[in-house]
Structure 1
Amino acid sequence: MASRAIAGPPPRFRKIATEEAFATTELQTAWLDVAKNSHAASLDVPTGILSIFNDPAPGSNQDRFRRQLLDVETERLQEMDAAGVDVQLLSVTIPGVQMFAPDRADALAIATNDHLAAAIAKHPTRFAGLACFAPQSLRGAAREMERAVTELKLNGFIVNSHTDDLYLDDPRFSPILEAAEALDRPIYLHPRAPSNGMAGPFREYGLGGSIWGFGMEAGTHAVRLILSGTFDRFPKLRIVLGHMGEALPFWMWRLDHMYRRRARDGRLTPTSLTPSEYFRRNFAVTTSGFEDEAALNLVIDRAGIDNVMWAIDYPFESSVDAAAFIDQAALTPAQRASICHANAERLFRITQA
């Protein structure tokens, strides 16, 4: 009788986690100062700043979030090792530097990026990083983007959705998009609480945060970029969306359908491509905070396997659970390699170990 092969353990894939948050004590102080003064009406205040950074209850999730956001080395590396995470792509947590006056925001962006680059220099095989900048300071933003890539060797950029209740399709932000395209580095478009113009219905039931408001805000931002013709003006610009694409993969058929109808009716300026074509050409998607295999399959179908990357959403989600999810998903070895590390290495220029 022929012997039956005994399956061994599945092959281990290098894992690069692509939406992993950090903060600095300087930012913490600045956020609390803003939260307690002129921007108190912002929904970012109750959904993030005060709940995490203003003396959360000892032992609570918020207390742990604050501790782990501020720690870039000790506990973070221990958790990475425990979960089998090879690299974290670090980015500053919401709202970044986007709530401050322009000069203050520029200074905080420089300090935060220097802090990030120093952490990467100490652990070059374990960390990569996305630079923050201040969209409300156009000259400062473009200058810091250039410095972050050419001098600090960071891997791309993080924008925490709206700035002064404006979105990146606004023509005033064209120099930022031009800089990202010229530097050939993607912008990770990360959610934050809904802007003041849409915040009202999100203030009750905790809707303003990750349960609903964050995704609605970032998804709306992405659709504005698509329908505004931004990607006709900047065809090589790459945008990254977390959380399985902030619901855009689910909406893609209807976005195409309604785009065609409104373009025919003259209610929308026609663009060279349909929304779904821009999505495949100009966007990439990460799995951050979303361990749902049906959603993963939809994202692969809508975005293409070369545009999907694994992420945890550390420290807000479990590294062990996120690693188990991608290890157990019904993927071919080639698909798993693409999602776990190869796409991130290519898109973010992360050197292989």
Structure 2
Amino acid sequence: MRKIATEEAFTIPEIAEAIRTRVRQGGPNLDLLLLKQLYEPSSTTPAASESNQVSNRDRAAKDMLPRLLDLDKVRLENMDTNGVDMHILSLVMPGVQLFERAQATELASLANDRLSETIRRYPKRFAGLASFAPQDPNAAAKEMERAIKKLKLHGFIVNSHTANAYLDDAQFSPILEAAEALGAPLYIHPRAPSDGMAAPFQDYRLEGAVWGYGVETATHILRLIFGGIFDRFPKLQVVIGHMGEALPFWLGRLDFMGAPGARAGRKNQLKPSEYFGRNITITTSGVEDPLALRYCIDKIGVSNIMWAIDYPFQPTAPAVAFIKTAALSETERAKIAYGNAERIFKIKT
């Protein structure tokens, strides 16, 4: 069975170095906690009670960055060993969204050029999502057009909020207009909660994938729904990972509380559940739970779900075992494993 993994991260040396510089500058942004671990593994001597934990974390961090930078040897070996046909590559969180405007625009363009070159070398193994700099929405729209029409990429990646602003903000309209006009999906990937919602996540390291990522990105999607974005841009296609950031499990309550005309639904024309299917697709990245998958199939439809690994942050073998053994019909399995990805991202077989 063909397997296309739809949320697979990479980076380039120039962006890695720019993030390392940004990490050294410090600041309150919660993303810097994870980025420091990834780009500046601890050089201090931990307390005896923490030494094993810190040592293991540092080893994992030191292994992660080389995997993100590698687009040839280790990645392809991992794919071949596990029977993965294709990675849809996207620039690792937080992309270029921590940089000032000119630097972000330049690095996004460079990353897209490198991504396009990689796909040309391995057209059967890789597809790609273009990054852009939301800091300059008009320049972002131009880069999005270049990425689709010239570089032949397959969609876009944005790491949720930028400077604590979300895509329902009027300043970002050129980005949404471009995505809809180009007919290419926009993958909204998590990052740590924005500064205004950050405080409760700090004490127990809740800011990352354990909780904060899902809460933050689900909040972003609800802002788009209740802000009427999918009514202004009815053909806009958005993809979210991690089994829909838990939103499918809330749709009954969201429909009740956020139906058109309700207090939260004053700006949306449809029920929240109706935007799933028309405008929103989910992937399974990092959630290998057959009960959750079955629920999502029954709730939002099998045609709106794609398989993903979340490489290199999640191991490949369990993700492959999950899609191979989950209690699915063969038609359902084929759609989730590759068919929906080929259709949504316009990947030629």
Q: Which TM-score band applies after superposition, normalised by the shorter structure?
A: over 0.9
Which whole-Å CA distance do the structure 2 matches of 1:90 and 1:348 have between them? 12
Amino acid aligned to 2:40: N
Letter in 2 for 1:157: F
Q: Secondary structure at the match of 1:148?
A: helix
Q: For 2:242, give the aligned amino acid.
A: H
Hey, what does 2:242 align to over in structure 1?
243
Q: Partners of 2:264 and 2:341 in 1: how far apart?
A: 38
Secondary structure at the aligned position of 1:197 is classed as: helix
State yes or no: 1:325 paired with 2:322.
yes
Q: TM-score, normalised by structure 1?
A: 0.93
Corresponding position of 1:136:
135
Residue identity in the other structure for 2:16: Q
Aligned equivalent of 1:53, options 39, 60, 65: 39
Equivalent in the alignment of 2:7: 19
In the alignment, which residue of structure 1 is the partner of 2:22?
Answer: 34
Amino acid at match of 2:13: T
- Tell me whether 1:277 sits opposite 2:263 in the alignment: no
Could you say which residue in structure 1 is the equivalent of 2:169?
170
Q: Is the 8 A contact 2:166 2:220 kept in 1?
A: yes
Following superposition, the deviation at residue 263 of structure 1 comes to 2.6
Cα deviations by residue, 1:134-193 (Å, 9 ceiling, x for unpaired) = 011112101100000001000000000000100001111111000000000000000001
Question: Partner letter of residue 32 of structure 2?
Answer: V
- C-alpha deviations, 1:218-258, integer Å up to 9, x for none? 11001111111000000000000100000101111010011
Match status 1:44 vs 2:27: no
Task: Report the secondary structure of 2:144's partner residue.
Answer: helix
Kept in 1: contact 2:257–2:264 (CA 8 A): no
Separation (CA, whole Å) in 1 of partners of 2:267 and 2:308: 34
TM-fit CA distance, 1:60? 1.8
CA deviations 1:85-123 (Å, max 9, x no partner) are 000000011100011111110000011111111111111
Match of 1:4 in 2: none
Residues 315-352 of structure 1 deviation map (CA, whole Å, 9 limit, x = unaligned): 01111110000100011111001000010000001111
In structure 2, which of residues 334, 338, 341 is the aligned counterpart of residue 341 of structure 1? Answer: 338
Task: Summarize the alignment of residues 157-306 of structure 1 with structure 2, pairs less than 5 Å apart.
Answer: 157-260=156-259, 263-264=261-262, 268-306=265-303
Do the aligned partners of 2:227 and 2:267 also contact (CA within 8 Å) in 1? no
Partners of 1:97 and 1:134 within 8 A in 2: yes
Q: Distance in 1 between matches of 2:41 and 2:190?
A: 24
Q: Distance in 2 between matches of 1:46 and 1:204?
A: 12
Quote how far apart the aligned CAs of 1:301 are.
1.8
Structure 1 stretches of 4+ moved >2 Å? 55-59
Determine the C-alpha separation between the residues in 2 that align with 1:249 and 1:267. Answer: 18
How far apart are 1:271 and its partner, in Å?
2.1
- Match in the other structure for 2:108: 109
Shift of 1:267: 5.8
1:78 maps to a residue whose letter is E
Q: CA deviation at 1:302?
A: 2.2
Aligned twin of 2:46? none
Q: Distance in 1 between matches of 2:282 and 2:339?
A: 14
> Deviations along 1:2-57, whole A, 9 cap, x unmatched?
xxxxxxxxxxx1000000001111111111212222x521100012x111111466
8 A Cα contact 1:244 1:295, kept in partner: yes
CA distance in 2, matches of 1:207, 1:257: 29
Q: Aligned-pair distance for 1:268? A: 4.2
| Code of the aligned partner of 1:40 | G
Structure 2: gaps (5+ residues):
43-54
Q: CA RMSD of the aligned region, Å?
A: 1.3
In 2, are the aligned partners of 1:283 and 1:303 still within 8 Å (CA)? no
Change (3 A) 1:267 1:113: closer
On the 8 A contact 2:148/2:182 being kept in 1, the answer is yes
Alignment of 1:47-86 (within 5 A): 47=34, 49-55=35-41, 60-86=59-85
Structure 2 contact 242–283 (Cα < 8 Å) conserved: yes
SS in 1 for 2:195: coil
Q: Secondary structure at the match of 1:344?
A: helix
Match of 1:314 among 295, 311, 314: 311
Quick one: distance in 1 between partners of 2:301 and 2:122?
Answer: 32
Give the secondary-structure state (helix, strand or coil) at the position aligned to 2:196: coil
Matched with 1:7 is: none
Q: Quick one: which amino acid aligns to residue 168 of structure 2?
A: D
Equivalent residue letter for 1:346 = R
SS of the counterpart of 1:290? Answer: coil
Give the Cα–Cα distance (whole angstroms) in 1 for the partners of residues 141 and 197 of structure 2: 28
Distance 1:123 1:298 in 2: 36
Query: Number of residue pairs matched?
Result: 336
Q: Secondary structure at the match of 1:90?
A: strand
